Amino acid sequence: MVIIAEMAYSNNTVEELLHLMELEALEVNLFRGESRDIGTPRVFGGQVLAQSVIAASRTVDEGVIHSLHAYFLRAGDASAPIVYDVDRNRDGRSFKSRRVVAIQHGRPIFTLAASFQLEQDGLEHQLEMPEMPGPEELTSGHEIPEDRLKQASPLLRRWFKRTGPFDFRPVRKTDVFNPHPQPAYSDIWFRLTEKIDVPDAMHRALLAYASDFYLVGTATLPHGISFIQPNLTMASLDHAMWFHRPVRVDEWLLYSCDSPSASGGRGLARGSIYDRDGVLVASTAQEGMMRLKEQKED
């Protein structure tokens, strides 16, 4: 039985992350998952995305996920369980389609459409990986100087001090406490902090989890704004992902992101994920709400 109590603040180790992916089967096509307190009041979107991928995968006997399209409908409550209702839309010879609705307090908070495919040979090409410094030449992105941390609220300090299961190393660091306009692209190396022995389907689910970090934030870079600003409201609206080739999330991956447009209070970002050998393993796209409120003079 999955128990959701008042959870102590967690640094989200790899072991805890894998436990998070262990959904409880309630009935045929019905699963329940728990959430982790990662220092924010809401459920992390990547968690719901990954758990939905796991729920859909649990209903597929053969084949692996190759694409997904998701919508974030409501903020998740980290203190309550999430129920995942899977609809087996179609089981074809090569492709299988699933729809997942994540439910909390009787209301849908997230929907996912996913497609699975039996492994097949075919034509191949890919865009080349951009030239970047290796991860060994970079430092982790969560290393915030103490004088900067003092400027943040207690909740934000808690968020910045978390260590988490992934090691993210941005090629170009951004000072969220003193942002300035930059080109609309970002490149981040990342991997799990420990080696894991899990099936390919779990690596894909964990890649979906990690893909929600940094992506839509790329759309804020040209405007010199930061997610910690009190007058900025940001929220993910949707998330799309295509899995091109097998991947291991416990080995270094490069997340190369760009933002082609922001308009109408929304920002769009795209991402390409490469392994250390330059193989394109996945592509992503996400649109997020970005609203700036007028600040009143004291």
Which of the residues are catalytic?
Answer: 212, 236, 286
Quick check: 259 and 285 in contact, CB under 8 A? no
Quick check: 213 and 236 in contact, CB under 8 A? no
Sequence-separated (6 or more) residues with CB below 8 Å from residue 33: 2, 20, 23, 24, 51, 54, 55, 81, 82, 84
Tokens standing for 117? 């495919």
- Could you tell me which of 272, 282, 269, 283 has the C-alpha nearest to residue 130? 272
Other beta carbons within 10 angstroms of residue 198's beta carbon come to 14
| Cα separation, 293 vs 207, whole angstroms | 34
